Structure 1
Amino acid sequence: MSTRVVEGKNIVRDYHVGGGLFRGARTVHAVKGVSFSVDKGKTLAIVGESGCGKSTLARIITLIDPATSGELFIDGNKVDIARDGLSKEMRRKVQIVFQNPYGSLNPRQKIGDVLGEPLLINTDKPAEERRDLAMKMLKKVGLGPEHYNRYPHMFSGGQRQRIAIARALMLNPSLLVLDEPVSALDLSVQAQVLNLLADLQDEFQLTYVFISHDLSVVRYIADDVMVMYFGEAVEYGPRDEVFADPKHSYTKTLFAATPRADVSSIKARLAKKKAA
């Protein structure tokens, strides 16, 4: 029997915008009654164009912002950070990896300190144990002990994102929210990071909520897909079903407007060009 790690029921997020000289105050409905669930070891990809509400929903799932209404459950427990605050235990369970690997790491901290900081803040582990755990996590993400005392500017974008992933895993979370984690990387590096995420998911039975606008990435990594449009979930289902037979007109338009970037199509184009 599968274990449900995260579930949202009718999640709503409104922002109240103050008025100006020629415009009165108004309410922006960023997320409009979205429901979803993700089981242990699975990946839900949330896709849509800029401004569709996917990153706002990610901030709610990651417990950065509260929902205006609706219910959020993590490991079966209802979470309301506006009312109850955020406990260390819940902070441990949910971690996030941001889009920008250059801005998400403190440039003044050595990598060992970057990885050890979550343990320093949220646990009572001694310094030697924090160091050992950081060393082990560096190895898990494809780096080595020689990187422990280096600074972020000494790494490539792909290596920095590996470090960001390692930091997110230091507290042994059950849920990892990945907000456009490969969109700032070169294509070849994207593939390496996606393969790393897949390997880590298999090893630690991680649950992912993967935010993206790149459908080729979504097709590779997702188990289920949710398409958002102006704050609403207009399509939701298993990956293969959504890609093979999209129901909503926006999903069809989105898929039709996205160039195919899979290996077979690239090889076919190269062969056609060579034959011409």
Structure 2
Amino acid sequence: MQPFVPASWVEGGDAAVVDVRDPWEYDSIGHLPGAVNVPFDSFRSDEGEAGKLPPRAEWEELLSDAGIGTDEEIVAYDDTQGVFAARFVVTALLLGHDPEKLHLLDGDFSSWQREYETTTDGVDPDPATYESDPEAETPLVDFETVRELLPAAESGDVTLVDTREDWEFAEGHLPGAVQLDWRELVDEERRGLRPESELRELLEERGIVPESRTVLYCNTARRVSHTYLVLRQLGYEQVELYEGSLTEWEDRGGELVTE
């Protein structure tokens, strides 16, 4: 799996390009040539499958209307260093799209426009037929699984990673969790990933190593999506997502600690 791709790959390829920003940004500020607009709010659901995933039928309709077919290669971007676009990519993954055909622009719209063309021309895609795969294996774990893993996390046998900010972590986190703000993985100037050597050093310092089973959470599965893709980019194989994250955890009375 190669989640992150450079701008040169996007420009020279034939993948379906998805812009997840608000429509006014897409229309007024501009977008990548040929990109279709699938706003972030259009694929979020408070009532959907597995917590925050949209209902499968709505997802299929959304991608079909955007002209994206079932087997198509997809690359998504935003203008927030990739965190919103990462949620699109992970949504597609969790609903059964081929992970080898899912990518995130390494950077964002602001970094793209420094060197590449943008446009305000409208895009009117030909409708396609998109079918998700309800039988696909995904890295999803649920509330019960995470609760059962807490002793292993506290003993260090499982790495439970909180991808929120320091102050959020201090206010309350899952027992045994280590803190890794997703923004620590991003180069603020380049707006894409930090160099691989820096990423590996940071992760090792936090005890997040490839050999360990790693489970990620945040509040509503947005930030965790970006961190998941970074770990997969680095070759981590045992990475799982707690989709419900703290929103579900607290609603169901899960234990939180502050120390």
TM range (shorter): under 0.3
- Answer 1 or 2: which has greater strand percent: 1
TM-score (norm 1): 0.23
Q: Which has the larger radius of gyration?
A: 1
